[in-house]
Amino acid sequence: MPTSQTWSYILSHIDATVPDRVLHDTYIDANVRDVVLHENTY
């Protein structure tokens, strides 16, 4: 198990990257539809 110090580092890093993650997930969602449509054409 990670130490509490490691957890605090991980959590603070996650907090910092949450906005990026949200933008990234939105970007992925937009691409997934394109990929699904693309795969269905085969």
Q: What is the pLDDT of residues 1-42, one digit of tens each?
A: 668 888 788 777 666 666 666 666 776 677 777 777 777 665
pLDDT the model gives residue 28: 67
Q: What is the pLDDT of residue 3?
A: 82
pLDDT confidence of residue 5: 85
Query: Would you give the DSSP letter of residue 7?
Result: H
What is the Cα–Cα distance from 22 to 29, expressed in whole angstroms? Answer: 11
- The pLDDT assigned to 14 comes to 65
Give this prediction's pTM. Answer: 0.28
Residue 9: the pLDDT is 80
pLDDT at position 42 is: 56
Which phi and psi (to 5°) does residue 41 adopt? -80, -10
